[in-house]
Amino acid sequence: MKYAIFAVSILSFAHSYSWAADGAALVKQHNCAACHAMKGPSAATVEAVLKRKAPDLFYAGSKFNREWLVGWLQSPTVIRPAGTVYVNHVEIKDGKDTLIPPAGCPVKLAAPEAAAVADYLMTLKDPNMKSGVFTPAPVKAGKARLILTRDEACDACHRLPEKGGGVSCPTLEGAGARLNPDWMYSFIRDPHYWDPTAWMPKKTYDDERLRIMVNYLAAFR
Ligand code: HEC
Ligand code: HEC
């Protein structure tokens, strides 16, 4: 009986042990902060943004889905075809804009390390963001697509699955796997709350329209 209790308490210890501490150590060891802001606030001036080497990670726990982080940290793909700061990656040649391919994120972690780093990143949350705002609902794809393209021209800046679109900003391909829908809802409603100088317009959408957009993006896997 004594042993059984001991075994149970060991198991519950193992279960509740946070790998986030190991993740924090790995983030230090790999010097992620050389490129990413691991502490807020976000850059507030154009000069500071031009020096930005990589996206802010200090609210990663609000922004990302954990499972996506675990996979991506093992083999990162290109999200921003024109780099973190678009203007740092274009050159005018013969009167035409030419893209200088960005280096991307150099990180390539082994699976257990990726899981620990993801656990740590998931602790970096914005305390003001409401969770549970997003309610999954089926949307008519045709209608949602027209909102994103014809009405709002999101594709002027962002690439959409099977549609193409702008390359100056993060691709929205795979947005549903990558991004927490509550965060998308908050970000699309007020991009400048998260990133004061983000080159994304703040518009006033009625709630239904915003939810259609988020539900549609959440289905991009
Ligand atoms: C040499 C600079 C550099 C270092 C060091 C670096 N990264 Fe990155 N990281 C980047 C760049 C550039 C991007 C943007 C890639 C893209 O959008 O295609 C990026 C993107 C990311 C993203 C996606 C962010 C988003 O908003 O899309 C995550 C997560 C990430 N890095 C995690 C890490 C972690 C964790 C470490 C340390 C273990 C790290 N990075 C170290 C340059 C770096
Ligand atoms: C003028 C260009 C522009 C337009 C138009 C635009 N965005 Fe953005 N968007 C941006 C920029 C810039 C960012 C942040 C860039 C970064 O994180 O590197 C962003 C980020 C996002 C993100 C977060 C993506 C991520 O991976 O970080 C989502 C989701 C998003 N936009 C959705 C939309 C939707 C939906 C629309 C249309 C209603 C839209 N955007 C219109 C420029 C634009």
pLDDT digits (tens, 9 = 90+) for 39-75: 999 999 999 999 999 999 999 999 999 999 999 999 9
C-alpha–C-alpha distance, residues 190 and 192, integer Å: 5
* Tokens at 90, concatenated: 């274009």
Q: Which ligand is nearest to the CA of 57?
A: 1
When mean pLDDT is compared across 80-94, 124-138, 163-177, the lowest value belongs to: 80-94
20-29, 90-99, 134-143, 173-182 — most confident range: 173-182
Instruction: Evaluate: CB of 159 within 6 angstroms of ligand 1.
Output: no
Task: Verify whether ligand 1 is closer than 6 Å to residue 80 (CB atom).
Answer: yes
- Backbone angles phi and psi of 146, in degrees to 5: -65, -35
Q: Is the Cβ–Cβ distance between 216 and 173 less than 8 Å?
A: no
Confidence at residue 93, expressed as pLDDT on a 0 to 100 scale: 83
pLDDT, tens digit (0-9, with 9 covering 90-100), for 151-192? 999 999 999 998 889 888 999 999 999 999 999 999 999 999
The C-alpha atoms of residue 123 and residue 131 are separated, in whole angstroms, by: 14
CB-CB contact of 109 with 73 (8 Å): yes
Task: Count CB neighbours of 73 within 10 A.
Answer: 22
Give me the mean pLDDT over the 209-217 stretch: 97
Atom number, ligand 2, closest to the C-alpha of residue 205: 38
